[in-house]
């Protein structure tokens, strides 16, 4: 049998080289080592995904990621100082702020007072030594494990953050988690955060992703959330990356019995973004609400790909994703709901809606329902259109200029996905986040020309 | 002096050939309430839309002067800022846009174009609550999305609320009586009458004389075939109510 040597793109070669350099730099903790080796082997077997890989049909990463930037190291003193200024300019949207610079935890940049009682933050590598059982969690759910972005994140896993909410804790303010890419030469950031919400606990977490405009930096971030029985997690994301950035994000969630997970992503940054959600119910009578609003202009490309796995009976999921497209932007929504054979009484509803503000944009929608149980309610819907002329005329007839009228209508469109986000227990913090997200929709509309 | 002067106006739907307005001439004096009556299809709503600047109509000739300035080249929002107001026959529901957000945006847009600062929130709330109370608009209606879940009467009252807040020079009321019961009609008419002033003109478009019992016109114009075919005093409305349009339209033809 002849061995086949695949032709590697420059990006793939660079990634392979980076893995080798990391390995040569010294041995990692044993647990990390095996995750890395497994992740790398998976990447090496397939290379970067391209359009003939169904899950990446509309986001040909092999073409879009021409080169791989050097792996970001820990920020030096001057980078930290500059980062402190950049992070300081970003208004907090919750309680305690936790900052990662280039994927590395920067405790000195924490803000908003000490962590609330019952919340602990520790280094992932160190936690893994104490608690080897975390390794199975980090290896990912079966569907996640097959994903190339996730495999690459494991291949380059050096450390990360473990955020734990003790069972029964009610955290009154969301944690404000900031991922900043520092200035300077473009780099590839590998970031990993694991959140474990203990049984019966309630918590909120807001991620904000940002970095320098005009630099084609790359980020591959994985957030894994374990929501134990009876717990609630409200998770918000603001993807405000620099205009030239490549942003790969994977959110994996495992939801226990009678637990509730609510996630909302606002996407307006990056040249190319892939926002992946792998969510699985592992206990009955749980609820998940997955939503997103993408605001894209120019030649931006953003892909939201989700897999909602109803693996047990009696769970409810709602998937609501909205795109607002201008210029020659390209939006992608791939939503898959899986109802396993035992998952009777599943209730799943998925909706993708798009407003086109110009002639140039394109939107690809791919809803998939894989239903193997016979007593379920599942539906999906999809709309795509321009702003309603009658509504526009009514607003203009009251003196409101076109651009402002459009902003009002687009904000109303986005509001549906944003307004009932969040748990009442998180009160003001969620209120602030909702207000911040709606304001960023309006700002985006008014600034777009 | 005239606040609104329309000269030889011709217009059609942008994507059709048929002329709907055929050389319409109309002068509305300052402080005047002018009723425009006419049969179905005479061009009444077209006139209101063309004046307000709806883009699916195309003006093919003539001019419309608002306080001496031709407004036909202006965008709808610019006309509104110059003091033209259209109370819609069918006010539109705007889900997701809060009533207060909408009213504030409208007031501030007008103030901005007139070189004024934005209205302060307390001043705005006081203003809206005062006017809303006069029109029997409940605080609950102000909390909802624009016109969403409003009854026909509530939508029309909401139009009058907007007019009261924007204080236009010329207000066009397009079949404001349609879909209203007597009580709602009285509230709307009272709202309009409270705004009558020597500096403001009204164009009241209606099919029926009934509205004119409550909003007394100074002059009545009859529109037919896209032109004003006759003009008279309030008694003309009564005559139309008694005899119908056929007689007068026939005479003019």
Q: What is the pLDDT of residues A90-135, one digit of tens each?
A: 888 878 999 999 999 999 999 888 899 999 999 998 898 888 889 9
Asked whether residue B95 carries a pLDDT value surpassing 60, the answer given is yes
CB contact under 8 A, A395 and B75: no
Give the pLDDT confidence score for residue A3 in this predicted structure: 63
- Asked whether residue A268 falls in the same domain as residue A365, the answer is yes
- Asked whether residue A222 falls in the same domain as residue A115, the answer is yes
A251-269 residue pLDDT tens: 999 999 999 999 999 999 9
- Asked whether residue A339 falls in the same domain as residue A416, the answer is no
Cβ-count burial A329-341 (b if 16+ within 10 Å, e if not): bbbbbbbbbbbbe
Q: Could you tell me if residue B155 is inside a domain?
A: yes
A183 reaches B (C-beta below 8 A): no
Q: Which of A322, A353, A398, A446 to mutate to test the interface with B (most CBs of B within 10 A)?
A: A398
Contact A27, A36 (CB under 8 A): no
- Asked whether residue A212 falls in the same domain as residue A282, the answer is yes
pLDDT-derived band at A425, boundaries 50, 70, 90: low
Q: Residue range B144-154: average pLDDT?
A: 92
CB contact under 8 A, A396 and B75: yes
B75 reaches A (C-beta below 8 A): yes
Nearest residue of A to residue B51, measured between CA atoms: A397
Tally the domains of chain B.
Answer: 1
Domain with A421, as residue range(s), is 387-449
DSSP SS3 for B225: coil
Q: Could you tell me if residue A7 is inside a domain?
A: no
Q: Which chain B positions have a beta carbon within 8 Å of A399's beta carbon?
A: 77, 80-81, 106, 109-110, 113, 166
Give the pLDDT confidence score for residue A264 in this predicted structure: 95
Q: Could you tell me if residue A8 is inside a domain?
A: no
Give the pLDDT confidence score for residue A26 in this predicted structure: 74
- Give B210 or A325, the one with higher predicted confidence: A325
CB contact under 8 A, A395 and B94: yes
Q: Could you tell me if residue B244 is inside a domain?
A: no
Q: Could you tell me if residue A9 is inside a domain?
A: no
What percent of chain A has pLDDT above 90?
Answer: 83
B81 reaches A (C-beta below 8 A): yes
Rounded Cα distance between A440 and B10, Å, is 44
Q: Residue range B124-142: average pLDDT?
A: 92
Give the pLDDT confidence score for residue A2 in this predicted structure: 60
- Asked whether residue A391 falls in the same domain as residue A377, the answer is no
Q: Which chain A positions have a beta carbon within 8 Å of B97's beta carbon?
A: 408-409, 411-412
Asked whether residue A273 carries a pLDDT value surpassing 60, the answer given is yes
Asked whether residue A5 carries a pLDDT value surpassing 80, the answer given is no
Q: Could you tell me if residue B39 is inside a domain?
A: yes
A408 reaches B (C-beta below 8 A): yes
Q: Which residues, including other chains, have CB under 8 Å from residue B235's CB and lie 6 or more apart?
A: none
Longest Cα–Cα distance in chain A: 76
What percent of chain B has pLDDT above 70?
Answer: 99
- Asked whether residue A380 falls in the same domain as residue A401, the answer is no
Asked whether residue A8 carries a pLDDT value surpassing 80, the answer given is yes
Nearest CB to A391 within list B80, B94, B166: B94
Contact A197, A168 (CB under 8 A): no
Q: Could you tell me if residue B75 is inside a domain?
A: yes
Pick from A61-65, A301-305, B134-138: least confident: B134-138
pLDDT-derived band at A449, boundaries 50, 70, 90: low
pLDDT-derived band at B198, boundaries 50, 70, 90: very high
CB contact under 8 A, A393 and B91: no
Asked whether residue A32 carries a pLDDT value surpassing 60, the answer given is yes
The angle subtended at Cα A134 by Cα A130 and Cα A138, nearest 5°, is 135
Asked whether residue B104 carries a pLDDT value surpassing 60, the answer given is yes
Give the pLDDT confidence score for residue B183 in this predicted structure: 87
What percent of chain A has pLDDT above 70?
Answer: 97
Rounded Cα distance between B64 and B11, Å, is 12
Nearest residue of A to residue B110, measured between CA atoms: A399
Nearest CB to B105 within list A408, A413, A415: A408
Helix or strand (DSSP H, E) at B183: helix B182-195
Give the pLDDT confidence score for residue B243 in this predicted structure: 87
Give the pLDDT confidence score for residue A447 in this predicted structure: 87
Q: How far is CA A160 from CA A90, A105, A131, A214, A221, in A?
A: 22, 7, 15, 27, 10
Tell me what the pLDDT averaged over chain B comes to: 93
- Asked whether residue A380 falls in the same domain as residue A425, the answer is no
B23-58 residue pLDDT tens: 999 999 999 999 999 988 899 999 999 999 999 999
Q: Which two tokens stand for residue B186?
A: 């009285």
CB contact under 8 A, B97 and A389: no
The angle subtended at Cα B37 by Cα B32 and Cα B38, nearest 5°, is 155
Q: Which two tokens stand for residue A89?
A: 């300019």
Asked whether residue B226 carries a pLDDT value surpassing 60, the answer given is yes
Tell me what the pLDDT averaged over chain A comes to: 93
Q: Residue range B67-77: average pLDDT?
A: 95
Q: Residue range A74-90: average pLDDT?
A: 92
Domain with B19, as residue range(s), is 2-234
Q: Could you tell me if residue A223 is inside a domain?
A: yes
Beta strands in A282-359, from DSSP E residues, in sequence order: 287-296, 301-310, 316-325, 330-339, 347-356
Residue where a domain stops, chosen among A344, A363, A386: A386
Tally the domains of chain A.
Answer: 2
Nearest CB to A399 within list B54, B55, B106: B106
CB contact under 8 A, B76 and A408: no
Contact A248, A278 (CB under 8 A): no
CB contact under 8 A, A404 and B105: yes
Q: Could you tell me if residue B200 is inside a domain?
A: yes
B53 reaches A (C-beta below 8 A): yes
Q: Could you tell me if residue B246 is inside a domain?
A: no
Instruction: List the CATH number of the domain containing B166.
Output: 3.40.50.300
- Asked whether residue A284 falls in the same domain as residue A422, the answer is no
Residue where a domain stops, chosen among A386, A414, A441: A386
Q: Could you tell me if residue A177 is inside a domain?
A: yes
Contact A261, A238 (CB under 8 A): no
Give the pLDDT confidence score for residue A424 in this predicted structure: 67
- Asked whether residue A368 falls in the same domain as residue A404, the answer is no
Asked whether residue A386 carries a pLDDT value surpassing 70, the answer given is yes
Residue where a domain stops, chosen among A368, A386, A404: A386
- Asked whether residue A358 falls in the same domain as residue A449, the answer is no
Q: Could you tell me if residue A366 is inside a domain?
A: yes
- Asked whether residue A316 falls in the same domain as residue A444, the answer is no
Nearest CB to A401 within list B55, B86, B109: B109
Rounded Cα distance between A289 and A234, Å, is 9
- Asked whether residue A377 falls in the same domain as residue A394, the answer is no
Rounded Cα distance between A308 and A334, Å, is 11
Q: Could you tell me if residue A310 is inside a domain?
A: yes
Nearest CB to A415 within list B56, B80, B96: B96
């Amino acid at each position: 049998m002849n061995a086949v040597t695949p032709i590697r793109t420059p990006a793939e070669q660079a990634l392979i080289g980076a893995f080798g350099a990391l390995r040569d730099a010294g041995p990692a903790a044993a647990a990390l080592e095996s995750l890395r080796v497994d992740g790398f082997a998976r990447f090496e077997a397939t290379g970067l995904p391209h359009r003939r890989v169904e899950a990446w049909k509309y986001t040909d990463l092999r073409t879009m990621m021409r080169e791989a930037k050097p792996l970001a190291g820990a920020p030096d003193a001057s980078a930290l100082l500059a980062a402190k200024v950049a992070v300081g300019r970003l208004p907090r949207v919750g309680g305690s702020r936790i900052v990662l610079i280039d994927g590395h935890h920067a405790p000195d940049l924490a803000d908003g007072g000490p962590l609330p009682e019952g919340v602990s933050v520790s280094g992932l590598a160190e936690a893994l030594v104490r608690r080897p059982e975390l390794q199975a969690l980090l290896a990912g759910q079966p569907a996640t494990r097959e994903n190339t972005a996730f495999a690459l994140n494991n291949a380059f896993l050096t450390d990360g953050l473990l955020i734990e909410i003790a069972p029964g804790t009610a955290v009154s303010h969301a944690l404000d988690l900031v991922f900043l890419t520092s200035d300077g030469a473009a780099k590839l950031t590998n970031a990993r955060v694991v959140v474990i919400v203990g049984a019966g606990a309630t918590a909120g977490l807001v991620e904000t992703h940002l970095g320098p405009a005009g630099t084609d930096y790359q980020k591959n971030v994985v957030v894994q959330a374990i929501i134990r029985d009876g717990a609630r997690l409200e998770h918000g994301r603001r993807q405000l990356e620099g205009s030239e950035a490549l942003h790969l994000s994977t959110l994996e969630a495992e939801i226990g019995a009678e637990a509730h997970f609510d996630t909302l992503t606002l996407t307006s940054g990056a040249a190319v973004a892939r926002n992946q959600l792998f969510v699985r119910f592992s206990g009955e009578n749980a609820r998940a609400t997955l939503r997103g609003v993408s605001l894209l202009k120019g030649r931006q490309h953003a892909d939201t790909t989700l897999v909602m796995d109803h693996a047990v009976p009696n769970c409810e999921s709602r998937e609501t994703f909205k795109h607002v497209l201008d210029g020659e932007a390209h939006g992608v929504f791939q939503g898959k709901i899986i109802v396993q054979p035992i998952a009777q009484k599943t209730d799943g509803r998925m909706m993708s809606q798009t407003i086109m503000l110009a002639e140039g944009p394109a939107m690809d929608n791919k809803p998939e329902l894989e239903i193997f149980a016979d007593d379920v309610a599942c539906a999906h819907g999809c709309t795509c259109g321009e702003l309603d002329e009658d509504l526009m005329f009514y607003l203009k007839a009251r003196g409101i200029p076109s651009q402002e009228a459009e902003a009002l209508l687009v904000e109303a469109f986005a509001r549906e996905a944003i307004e009932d986000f969040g748990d009442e227990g998180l009160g003001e913090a969620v209120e602030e986040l909702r207000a911040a997200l709606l304001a960023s929709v309006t700002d985006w509309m008014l600034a777009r020309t | 002096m005239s606040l609104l002067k329309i000269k030889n106006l011709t217009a059609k739907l942008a994507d059709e050939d048929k002329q709907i307005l055929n050389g319409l001439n109309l002068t509305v004096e300052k402080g005047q309430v002018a009723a425009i009556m006419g049969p179905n299809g005479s061009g009444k709503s077209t006139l209101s839309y063309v004046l307000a600047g709806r883009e699916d109509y195309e003006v093919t000739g003539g001019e419309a002067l608002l306080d001496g300035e031709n407004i036909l080249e202006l965008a709808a929002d610019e006309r509104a800022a110059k003091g033209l107001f259209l109370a819609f026959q069918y006010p539109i529901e705007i889900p997701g846009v809060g009533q207060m957000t909408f009213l504030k945006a409208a007031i501030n847009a007008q103030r901005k174009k007139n070189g004024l600062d934005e209205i302060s929130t307390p001043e705005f709330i006081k203003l809206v609550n005062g006017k809303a109370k006069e029109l029997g608009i409940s605080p609950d209606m102000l909390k909802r999305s624009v016109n969403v879940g409003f009854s026909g009467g509530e939508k029309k009252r909401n139009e009058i609320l907007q007019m009261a807040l924007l204080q236009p020079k010329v207000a066009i009321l397009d079949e404001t009586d349609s879909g209203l019961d007597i009580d709602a009609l009285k509230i709307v008419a009272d709202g309009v009458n409270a705004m009558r002033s020597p500096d403001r003109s009204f164009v009241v478009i209606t099919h029926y004389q009934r509205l004119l019992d409550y909003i007394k016109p100074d002059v009545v114009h009859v529109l037919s075939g896209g032109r004003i075919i006759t003009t008279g005093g309030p008694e003309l409305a009564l005559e139309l109510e008694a005899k119908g349009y056929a007689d007068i339209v026939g005479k003019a033809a």
